[in-house]
Structure formats: structure tokens, C-alpha cells
Amino acid sequence: MSSEEVFVFPASFAQQRLWFLDQLIPDNGIYNVPTVIRLTGSLKLAALEQTFNEIVRRHETLRTTFIVSDGQPLQAIAPSLTIPLSVLDLQQLPDDEREVKAKCIITAEIEHPFDLSSGTLLRVILLVFSETEHILLLNMHHIICDDWSMGVLIRELGTLYAAFAQNQPSPLLELPLQYADFAHWQREWLQGELLQTQLAYWREQLNGISILHLPTDKPRPAIQSYQGATQFLELPLKLIDTLEKLSQQEGVTLFMTLVAAFQTLLYRYTHQEDIALGSPIANRNRSEIEGIIGFFVNSLVLRSNLSGNPTFRELLGRVREVTLGAYSHQDLPFEKLVEELHPERNLSHHPLFQVVFGFQNAPMSALELPGLVPSFMNIDIKKTRFDLELHLWKCSEDFRSLWGANWEYSDGLRGVMVYNTDLFDRATISRMVEHFKTLLSAIVANPEERIANLPLLSEAELHQVLVKWNNTQVDYPQYKCIHQLFEEKVQQYPDSIAVNFANEQLTYQDLNTRSNKLAHHLQKIGVSSEVLVGICISQSIEMIVGLLGILKAGGTYVPLDSSYPQERLNFMLEDAQVSVLLTQENLLKHFEGFSKPIISIDKDWEIITQENQDNLKSDSNSDNLAYVIYTSGSTGKPKGVAVPHKAVNRLLCNTNYIKLEPSDKIAQASNASFDAATFEIWGALLNGAQLLGISKDVTLSPYEFALQLREKDINILFFTTALFQQIVRDVPQAFASLKYFLFGGETVDMRWIKKILQSGAPKHLIHVYGPTENTTFSSYYCVEELPSATSLPIGRPITNTQIYILDTHLQPVPIGVTGELYMGGEGLAREYLNRPELTTKHFISHPFSNNPKTRLYKTGDLARYLPDGNIEFLGRIDNQVKIRGFRIELSEIEAVLNQYPAVKETVVLAVEDVPDDKYLVAYVVLNQEQIAMQEVQGFASLLRQFLKEKLPEYMVPSAYVILESLPLTHNGKVDRRALPMPDTISFNNQDYVAPRSQVEKLLAQIWAKVLGKEQVGIHDNFFELGGHSLLATQLTSRIRDTFQIDLPVRNLFEAPTVEQLARCIDTMFWTAKGLYKGGATSQEREDIEF
């Protein structure tokens, strides 16, 4: 069609945006608007074809395509157009095959994209089943219609067909206006003071708007695929009537009440108090345009403040104010809003809002066709432009909807939740629908309830997460002390080897005798029930004798590590008010300022050995403290965790995560000041097993460590995750001989789980989790096969332990929703020693117990339930950061970085060395063979590009620091505080850097002209300089003209700097020439001719 044959008009703002999105995501059917109608009866084909052509004649939009001038779309309207009615005859097929074939045709047509620049944007297909059975399929592009338009089309279809079937002329009056008139009027009207008034409102209303982070089942892809699915829902009339009544009482509409309820649901799912929804509005507030087919619908952003935990009634007032404000400023097209506000742009999120709520209050009139019974058919929508959509409408037999289903109720509300299948599983959305229903019922029952306290879970779900998944109670020796249980094993296995350190062994009887003598000696110098005794002895048999001796005397041991800084040791001695110190002669130098009794277990042994060797009688009970272990504190000062005897017994006796037996040989690889030693030492000695010491030097030498495991026939081992990964990297088969291998302490890299499973896994590979405050382990997960997820669960609670995942108001969260981990049960520590305020803060009253003395420990860790009841650990609360409004889990970035072949291990931090300027830094350890191959800056560029292909742009670190190794704490965990600040050379957002190649120079000139900048550097980001969608199309249009290449708009989103886009253009140019070789850069090819 030549330009002389069409009338050209400006596109509306809404059309402009859809055209841009079509350029950004070409060949995609996400903006198709289909309708499928089954026609039963005698169909007059000629009348039907005449009807559609008359509708096309009446409405210019149905004759419209789009041309481009200087990067801007224009409407090109053909003076006349005949719509071909495609008739597909399926009569020859058997009945069952006919339905299957029809479904395939319909699905293919619905997903088939339109070409906006040529061809019609309306397709009509008729499937013939028989002379009296047809299926009519209408498909239009959203750029020429909206849902209101479909009602107009259906109404005209009924009226015109009825006339033409009787050979009568059209009874419809000519339209006074066409859509092009509206587009012209909109541009004329929306400028000057009126535009500024509208913009001022929305700027203030949307200032600092945040991304809504719904908990997803799958990692968010870097580029949205728009794959979707639907879940139906119904709300019975009784519920709707009570909602209507509540709405009337509060002076709001039902729409506002439903918005408030839906925002409450999102608040409970995300824990965000700033909730923005997109809501479609017909935008037909003039009678002259009510009968026009066209794209009028506008999207309003309804942003509500849910802070302060208001009552639902209070929230309704806030939502009413927001909604009325939006309605009074609805004339500003959403497209203009995006253009003016410059929201954070990336290909993984819809801008300004990610969730849509739509409510159609007025049912449309029915389609009536003489001689036919029309029925609208269900359409399986498989596309969505958002994370989540909720659409509700009033029940009506006549109501036309894209979604049909077998409905339970004939009145009330019907609806559909459309969700992105790249993010959510169907089961998750089904639960969300049920939670919405539960919430609505709770709202009408008590609108005065605060929104955080409104019931969300059903009684069955509450029972599942509070009771069923915490049913871990078993008998264990809760009334005995550790040393009493040990003495029972001495009676049972007196001649068995108890401890084996550096080729020195002691039987259970010998160990008991030595520790008894020490205990008698300690009692003589004042050690009794809960007297704190410091112990600083190197890993040896003497250390075990010392621990047992302290407990037998009734005391509480406080492990001290001689490698700690002197200041830290002094603080621990003073803070714990240690009364007696047990150490070795060569370590006395660390305690020269300690004024209380000191026993040197080697130097003073001749005196100690004179003591009574019999078991002591003490007044200790299992509620008395067994030990105090110091852990790091947020203030920089360590805090002492005070643990009673019975908590240790709960960890090691009659457990569900491990079966410890007298024949076992358990390695002690942990320092006694690390709570993992509780499992190692007492796991052996309370079960008649043998404890074998492994020195730190051996532990840190993978090959020597693997050798010792086999030579000493060790069959049970615990390692921190960091040490486990280090061994697996170098000697993956090291653990194959173990019966039980437990690891935990921090997030594990799934590469090494896969490697150990492939190279020879132990009989039982167990991922454990637990804070010191709940005695070493709280949950466990048996790794039998590599999970399909990107992280390893921490599993379920161990025996006599309860785990709850709660929100900030101590309400149980739904399955899949992030919350904070709380621990209960027999393993809880008594307190933080001498820190009553800290104890009160972290050990809270149990919200689900009738016993006021029952407590929970508030861990500060984030987690969520998986559908099978296992728990997924999501990091520390303080490890979750916000960058430019996006909430980011640092461990997710680390997991993706670890997928890069040359990366050995990595840590990502959020750094804020300038106030309010927070950025991400990746600390990377490379595989040895890679270190010499890449310069830091060059390798950082490769990593950045790798991450950009897998993560949204806002999750890509700005700085990269290459390290030889990650610093570890004394307990074998990564020491994040010891990581160096990044060198400014590794930043992505550098100062101005001039173009180096001809391509970069030309691009910089084009950018400067389009953006109105005097100077553009190669590292400047197009969107950060103020670029938006329309400028992006202008830019790509000028690039096409300058370089004579077809550059898709999407490339600009994927490569938003001059340097990146130059590299992209170079690649396209050389690929076209057949000369491209991966890895070359634009700097290496300056002699390109264009």
C-alpha cells in the first residue's frame, strides 16, 4: 500500500507505547486480544462476512497500520479495506479429532503475532464443524482496541448480522468521531498548564516508588518472557453483599474495598508497606467516544501507604483518597507518565507497577444472532505482561469475558488470576487465591482488625505449619547432666577407646578417672554449680579431660581460643566473670593480667593426680549451665550464649537426623570455642563412640585431611560449608568412606553438592542449620539427589525442636512467603550472659503456647516453607539490601557468579562509602589456572557481561575485587568485615571516558544529539542520562540510518552504554561480513568503513 493511498495521523500516546513495545519485543503475541464464540444453528455466511466488512468500514482503527517518521509512529488509515473471512472446514474429521484440531488452530492463532506496519490488525476465522455448528475466532491487536471496544464490536455484530441476514440495510448511525480525532485532540489538549498540573500530581504521588517483590518460586529471568497461565476464582454473593454493605458504611465503592483487600494480601506476601497496583480504566468519559472501537484504556497507578499496621477500616480511608486522586488525574496517559518520570528501566520488570487489579462492575449486553445460539468459549491465556494480574467481574449469564469456566456460583463475583509462569507455580497461585478469600471473609467479620493480624491461612494450613511440621517430640534424657550420661557410658564401655589425639588414646575408664581427679581439685578451689571456668587448652586429650572435669565439679565451661586477640580474651574473661582459669603452661602468657586462680593442667598435673578418682556427687541438674560460648555481636563486642545441660542432650540423644552408635569414630575438627565442637565431643562421649582429633593444619590441607579420614577409619564428620567446599574442590572423593557427613553454617554453592554426589558421596550427606542460641543444630536436610532448585534446603526441625516462620507481627507466613525463623523447644539457650536487654529482645514469649514461660528464639534469619515442608534458608535479614528501590538478596548474586567457570568462590557486599550512594561489590577468587590469564579490569568486564545475561541490571555489581582467597573467621566462616574496599578502577560508573573508536565516536554524537547533552562518554548509561522509550526509538532509528544496520530496540536495553552498544554493532557488522571472531572489541577495529 503506497503512502498516497492512506491518511496519516499522529498515534495516540497509548498507541505510541504499544508500538514501542512491539519494537522492543518483536514477533510476540502478548498484545493479541482474542475472542472465541461457538455458534449453534443455521449460519448465513454471506451475512456474517458482510457484517464484519461493515464494521471495518465504520471504524477507521480496523483499517489502520503504523508507519515510522524520524523514529516516531504514525497512524496510516486506509480509505477502504475488505477483511477476508478465513473458513476452515473440519467436517471430515471424527468428532474427537475435530475438537482437538480446533483447539490447536485457536491456540496457534491466539499466539500468532501481528505486523503493525503491514496487513490488517483484525483477523477473522470461521471453523466449520457441521452445517449447524461453527466456531468464530476474532483476533485483534491491542493497539486498535480494548475490552470496551470488544463490547462495541459484539453489539454491532449482533445488530448488523440481524439486519443483513434479512437483507436489510444497516440500522446503525454513522459515527460522529473516529479514533484519529481522539488522538489529535489528546495531543492538542494535553499540554501547557494542564499537562504540568497532571504531571505535578503524579510526580508527587509516585516519588520514590519501589518495585513490588512478590516471593517467586523461580529466579527472575534477566529478560521477561511474558509466559503466563490463569487460575480461576469465585466469590459467593453472600460475601459480596457483606463487602458491599461495608463499602457503603465507609463511603467507598466496592472497587476501593477490593483494592484495599488485594493490597493487604500483597503486603502480607511481600512485607512491603508501599504497595502500587496498576488498574485499567476505560478512559471514555465523553459520550462521543463511547461507541468507537479503539485503544482508549488508560492504566492508573494506585499507590497506597500501608505503614503503621492500620486497621482495615483505616486503610480503606487511605485507599479512597488515593483512588479519588487518581481518578481526578486520569487524563494523563500512562505512556506520558513513564516518559516523564524515567522510572528504573530493565527488561525483567514492568515499569512503575508489576501487579494489576481490574474490576468490571457492569456486565455487557448479550450477543443475540437470529437463528443462532452463541456462547463464548474459554480461552487459555498463556501470556502476561506483568508478574500477576487479578481481574474480577460480576456474575451474569450474558457477560462476555475472555475467560469461561465451569462456575460453582451463578451470582457473586467471578475472576481470574493471571500469573507469569517464569516466576510462579500453579500451586502457589492456587494458595494465593484461597488466602485472598480467607482475607475477605476476615475483613467483613472484623474491619477494625489491624491488617497484619487479619487471618490469612486456613485452619488446616495453620495446623500444618504450627503443629504437624513441628511434631518432633520424643523421649530423651532431659533430667540428666552431660557428665552423668558420660558416666553411664563408662559403666557400659569401660575399656572402649573414648578419645584419640595425636596417637595418644584413653579408654572411657581412664578418661573418667582423670576427669574425676580434676573435678575434685576444682571443687576444692571453689568450683560448684554454675561457677564459670575459663578453659584455654590446645586441641588434645587434656582439653577433653578439662571439659569433663569442669562439668563434674558442677561448673560451666567457657572455651577460650588462644589465637584470639588479647583484647578479646580479656573482654570474655571479664564479661563472663570467670572465677577459675584452666589452661596449659605454654599459654599462660595470654593471661598475665588474670588475678583469679589459674590451673595449668600439665604443670599442675602431679598435684591433681593425687585427688580422689571416684565420681563426684554434685547438686547440678540438667537446667544448670553446661557452657558459655561467645559469638560475634553486632556492636563489635562478642556475646556469651549460655547453654544448659539438657539442651546438649536434646542435640545428641535419640535424635532423628543421625544415629550415633558405640562403633562410630567421630572427628573433632572444630575448635572447642565453636559450637560445632558440642556435636563432635559430646556426640561421641554420650554415645560410647570414639572421638578422634584432627589438627587445624591437617583440616586446611585437603589431601592430608582425606588421607587421615581413611587411615583413622573416621566415619562421622562435621565441617563448615566453607571448609567442605574447599575440600570438595580439590579432593571430591574425600568423603566417600563416611557414614555421616554433616555440613552447614552458610549458603552452599550447588556446584560442590553436585560434585560430591558424582564423585563418591558419603552414605548420609546432611545439610544442617542452627544458631548457637539453639544448641548447634536446629534443622537437617538429607541430600540424596541434587535438587532442581538453585539452593539447598535446610530441611525440617530435629527432634524436640520447633521452627516457625513468622512475619514482623509474629503471624505465620504462607508457604513460599519469606519470613523470619523462630526457634523453640528443648535446645534453647538460657540467655545471653549478663545481657538481660539483649536476651529479652531475642528470646521472646512463645506466641502459640499457653505456658507463659515458654520461649522462642528470634534468629534474624530469613526463610520460607517449601510445599513439601522443607525450609529454604534465604540469608540474614541484614544481608538483604535495597539498591535503587530494588530489594536484592546478595546470596542470589553469589550463586550466579559461582556458575562462571573461572570463579572458584565469591562474596557480594552492598557498600555505602558515600551517604545514600549504595552499590554492589563482588569479591572473587579465581581458579588457579585463571589468575594469570586475565587482568583485573578485563576479567571484571567478562564477569559483568556474564551476570547481565542472567540477572536484572540492578543486580549486577558495580565493582569487582579479585582476591587470592576469602578471609575466614576462626570458626571457618567467611569474614565479611575483613574484605577490602574496592579500588575505584574496578567501578562500572567511571567518570567521563572519551570515545576511542570510530563507532564509539559516532554513537556518542548520536546520543548527545538525541539526549540534548554536550558530551557523552563511553560508560554513560542511556537511561541514567534521561533516555526513555520514545528517545530510544529515535536513537535506534538514527543508528540504523548512520550505520545501515537493523538494530533492534532491545539491544539498547541489553547494552545501554556507548561502549557496550559499539561492541554490539561491531559484532553485527562483522557477522554480516562473515568475519566475526568472538572476543574482539571495537578498539581493535578502528578501520571500519561504512
> pLDDT for 639-675, tens place per residue?
999 999 999 999 999 999 999 999 999 999 998 988 9
* pLDDT of amino acid 364: 60
Q: What is the mean pLDDT of residues 758-765?
A: 92
CA-wise closest residue to 718 among 689, 697, 739: 739
Q: Which residue has the cell 527432634?
A: 799
1003 in Cβ contact with 997 (< 8 Å)? no
Q: What is the mean pLDDT of residues 736-753?
A: 91
What SS3 class is residue 34?
Answer: strand
Residues in the chain: 1090
* pLDDT of amino acid 212: 93
560 in Cβ contact with 536 (< 8 Å)? yes
* pLDDT of amino acid 984: 40
Q: How confident is the model at residue 1089 (pLDDT cuts 50, 70, 90)?
A: very low
| CA 530 remoteness from chain centre | 45
- pLDDT higher than threshold 60 for residue 1077: no
What SS3 class is residue 962?
Answer: strand
Q: What's the CA gap between 1005 and 982, in Å, rounded?
A: 32
Q: How confident is the model at residue 933 (pLDDT cuts 50, 70, 90)?
A: very low
pLDDT tens digits along 336-360: 888 777 776 677 778 889 999 999 8
DSSP 366: P
Q: What's the CA gap between 728 and 738, in Å, rounded?
A: 14
472 in Cβ contact with 664 (< 8 Å)? no
* pLDDT of amino acid 602: 95
Q: How confident is the model at residue 954 (pLDDT cuts 50, 70, 90)?
A: low
pLDDT tens digits along 1039-1064: 888 888 888 877 887 788 888 888 88
CATH number for the domain formed by residue range(s) 3-179: 3.30.559.10
Q: How confident is the model at residue 1083 (pLDDT cuts 50, 70, 90)?
A: very low
- The Cβ of residue 606 has, within 10 Å, a number of other Cβ atoms equal to 8
pLDDT tens digits along 215-262: 999 988 888 888 999 998 999 999 999 999 999 999 999 999 999 999
* pLDDT of amino acid 1044: 84
CATH T-level assignment (fold) for domain 190-285+293-367+378-456: Chloramphenicol Acetyltransferase (3.30.559)
Q: What's the CA gap between 581 and 591, in Å, rounded?
A: 9
* Beta-sheet pairing, 917-926 with 959-963: parallel
DSSP string across 211-253? ------SSPPPSS---BEEEEEEEE-HHHHHHHHHHHHHHT--
**Residue bearing the bigger pLDDT, 58 or 1078:** 58
Q: What is the mean pLDDT of residues 545-560?
A: 98
CATH number for the domain formed by residue range(s) 884-986: 3.30.300.30
Q: How confident is the model at residue 762 (pLDDT cuts 50, 70, 90)?
A: very high
Q: What is the mean pLDDT of residues 314-334?
A: 94
Distances from the Cα of 421 to the Cα of 221, 385, 417, 874, angstroms? 11, 11, 12, 22
Q: What is the mean pLDDT of residues 287-309?
A: 94
Q: Which CATH architecture has domain 998-1084?
A: Orthogonal Bundle (1.10)
Q: Using CA of residue 507, residue 508, residue 511, residue 516, what is the dihedral sign?
A: negative
* Beta-sheet pairing, 122-130 with 85-89: parallel
Q: Which residue ranges does the chain devote to CATH 1.10.1200.10?
A: 998-1084
- The Cβ of residue 255 has, within 10 Å, a number of other Cβ atoms equal to 18
Lowest mean pLDDT among 267-281, 502-516, 902-916, 1054-1068: 902-916
% of the chain surpassing 90 pLDDT: 61
* pLDDT of amino acid 1075: 47
For residue 300, count CB atoms less than 10 angstroms from its CB and return exposed for 0-12, middle for 13-18, buried for 19 or more: buried
- 944-948: long-range contacts at Cβ-Cβ below 8 A with a sequence spacing of 24 or more? 944/988, 946/900, 947/893, 947/896, 947/897, 948/222, 948/1054
Count of alpha carbons within 13 angstroms of residue 349, beta-carbon side: 23
**Per-position b or e across 855-883, b if 16+ CB within 10 A of its CB:** bbbbbebbbbbbeeebbbbbbeeebbbeb
Distances from the Cα of 698 to the Cα of 670, 723, 761, angstroms? 12, 12, 21
Alpha helices in 686-765 (DSSP H): 696-699, 702-711, 721-730, 750-759
Beta bridge partners of 910: 920
pLDDT tens digits along 872-916: 999 888 766 656 545 577 877 888 898 888 888 899 988 876 554
* pLDDT of amino acid 256: 97
pLDDT tens digits along 553-572: 999 999 999 888 788 899 99
Q: What is the mean pLDDT of residues 78-84?
A: 92
DSSP string across 399-468? ---S-----S-SSSEEEEEEEETTT--HHHHHHHHHHHHHHHHHHHH-TTSBTTTS--S-HHHHHHHHTG
Count of alpha carbons within 13 angstroms of residue 127, beta-carbon side: 21
* pLDDT of amino acid 985: 36
- pLDDT higher than threshold 60 for residue 1079: no
CATH T-level assignment (fold) for domain 478-489+499-654: Rossmann fold (3.40.50)
Lowest mean pLDDT among 41-45, 637-641, 926-930, 1060-1064: 926-930
Q: What is the mean pLDDT of residues 478-494?
A: 98
Q: What is the mean pLDDT of the chain?
A: 88
- pLDDT higher than threshold 50 for residue 1: no
- pLDDT higher than threshold 90 for residue 737: yes
* pLDDT of amino acid 1084: 31
pLDDT tens digits along 378-415: 777 788 889 999 999 887 654 444 444 556 666 889 89
Q: Which residue has the cell 564509539?
A: 1000
CA-wise closest residue to 71 among 1061, 980, 1047: 1047
Beta bridge partners of 717: 741
Q: What is the mean pLDDT of residues 52-57?
A: 97
Q: What is the mean pLDDT of residues 1063-1087?
A: 55
Q: How confident is the model at residue 945 (pLDDT cuts 50, 70, 90)?
A: confident
- pLDDT higher than threshold 70 for residue 481: yes
pLDDT tens digits along 610-630: 999 999 987 889 999 999 999
Grid coordinates belonging to 539: 586441641
Sheet bearing 504-507, strands edge to edge: 504-507, 497-501, 690-693, 665-668, 716-720, 740-744, 764-769, 779-782, 796-797
Q: Which residue ranges does the chain devote to CATH 3.30.559.10?
A: 3-179
Amino acid making up residue 30 = I
Q: How confident is the model at residue 584 (pLDDT cuts 50, 70, 90)?
A: very high
